[in-house]
Structures are given as C-alpha cells and as structure tokens.
Amino acid sequence: MKKIINDPKNYIKEMLEGIYIAHPDKVAYVNDDLQCLINVHNKEGKVGIATGGGSGHLPLFLGYVGDGMLDGCCVGDVFQSPSAEQMLAVTKHIDQGAGVLYIYGNYNGDIFNFDMAAEMADFEYDIRVETVLGADDVASAGPKKEGDKSTRSGVAGIVFVYKCAGAAANRMMTLDEVKRIAEKASHNVRTMGVALTPCVVPRVGKAGFEIGLDEMGIGKGIHGETGIRRGKIESADQIIDEMLDKIVAELPYAEGDEVAVLVNGLVATPLDEQYIAVRRIQENLTSKGIKVHRYYVGEFATALEMAGLSISLLELDEELKELLDDPADTPFFKQ
C-alpha cells in the first residue's frame, strides 16, 4: 500500500479536518461530530436536502454540500454507512420548517440507517422526511418485474439528482415538488463504469480485488463489485461504445432525445483520457441522433486510487434542463 497518510485509523478524521480547514466559508459540522457536515448558509423556509454514505468516494458525498445543492451530509468509514444517529443530527439542523429530503445510493446499509433516522426525526421532532434513492448503475441491474424495487446501485449519476433537486429547493419549491424533481432525475439517469486497477482500503492495506495489467472490468463497481465482464483492455473507442450501448438500451434513449453527460474519473485516470472519452461519446451519441446539452468532466464519484472512468447520461426535458443549469457553489462543484 502506497498512500500519503498517517495512522490508517485516523484516515477519515484527518481528511475531514482538512476539508473544514480549506472550506470554512461553505461547510461546518454539528453535534461535535466531524462526520456530520452541514452547509453554513441556512435559508429559512427552504426544503433541506441531505445525503450520506461511506467515505472513499470524494467528492461524493460531502463535496456537494453547499449553496444550490445539498444542505447536509453524513459520512461513515471507508465504504461503510454512517449511523442513524448521525443522520438524525444533520436532519435536525437542516430542517428550516419545510421538511427534509434524503437522497442517497441504493445500498442496504444506507437504507436501513437512513430509514431509522427518518422515523426518529418524525417521532421525536415532528420533522417530515421523504426519500429518493439514487439507482443509476446499469451494470448492477438484475432482472425485475414491473413494480419491483430497483436493484441498481447508486453511483456517479446521483450528482445529477443532487443538482436538480438542489435547484428546486433553492427556488423554494415544496417538499412534494422537490421530491418529484428528484424522482424524475433519478429515473432519467443511467451510468456505466470501467475499472483498470483495484483500490486499497487504508485499514486493510491491500487491493480489494485483482485485475491483470492487461485487463479491464466493464461495469466494475466503485466498491469492487463484479460488473458485466472482465477481459483484455481494448481501445478507448471500443470501451466507450460498449458502455454507451448498454446505457442507451437500458432506459432506453431514442433519436431526438437531449441529454446531459457526466464523464467521471475514478481518480487515477488522467483528464487527457477523460477528454478522449468525451470525443467518442459525442461521435457515438450524434450517430444515434441524441443531442448533448452539456458535459461535466472530472472527478465526481471516485473509488480511492482506482483507475477507470464512468459515464452517466441524464435524459432531459425543459424542466430538468432549467434546474440543471441553475447556479451552485459547493467545495467541489461550482456552476
């Protein structure tokens, strides 16, 4: 393991201390708990939006707390859910009288703890809490019947859900309306990833999975989930085409649709390669008659030092397009 760290046990604590030192004008913490992060700017009467999940994915989750996006976030240890008590502490602080919306990834541990926090907020403090799950990972979609709960995991595409819901809340929409926007964005986004190298959890000290020097994992998850297939590494164009074909078929998208595209480096992939991907994405979508409204390129949901990238497509209508284009200012996202 090669990392610029001190004691692995202090990995999260020291990372969070650095965040608060660097961004005191945007974020603070509550309940004397570094892992309970909140926006320093309250807006009375606005719906509060909270998220959370395991650490190791910066800027997901806490990086999107700020004006025009999220109001609070709880983070757990690396790849581990925060507690219900931590989520409750954040919920109490961000409630400005209009209720709170939880937006988080479709993972069992998070669902259990966030649901418990919502029940405690209602019972103990009479705070109404609603929930929308991010479930955009095409590779994790198992067979399901109409009406069944989605089996997809939440990955980088959840950033689009944060952005649209955050803009709706900032426009002072009601909790029901903000939830509706979040549900629409979540329904309209799909993501596919590719991994070239594994990641190393600091407390473990060794790779979480193995992949050959000449191999790639199409659909590999941000925690090392199996994905769709593993094989010899191919050209950028071949990789992008395979990923996009699966994304476009899964919603499905159609000729004449307009989308926003998020190209997300998993942290160890140079921006050079991400922009090579953008080139092919544009060619591929143009050939399908799909128009791109805007691109987002960079690090949005990482996996420690994993090399690879993911592509997220958000199908747009006029409402989502306007909300997506609204300004936002957080430690890791500015528009």
Q: Where in the sequence numbering do the catalytic residues fall?
A: 57, 223
**Distance between CA 181 and CA 281 in Å, rounded?**
26
- Name which of 142, 201, 189, 138 is nearest 161 in CA terms: 189
Beta strand 215-218 pairing with 329-330: unpaired
Query: In the chain, which residue ranges form alpha helices assigned H by DSSP?
Result: 11-22, 84-94, 108-125, 158-170, 175-188, 236-250, 271-287, 318-325
Which residues touch 143 (CB under 8 Å, ≥6 apart)? none
Cβ–Cβ < 8 Å for 96, 48 = yes
The SS3 call for residue 182 is helix
Which residues touch 318 (CB under 8 Å, ≥6 apart)? none
- Name which of 62, 60, 54 is nearest 312 in CA terms: 60
Which residues touch 247 (CB under 8 Å, ≥6 apart)? 138, 190, 191, 192, 253, 311, 313
- Answer positive or negative: Cα dihedral of 271, 283, 196, 76: positive
Beta strand 189-195 pairing with 215-218: antiparallel
**Distance between CA 198 and CA 183 in Å, rounded?**
32
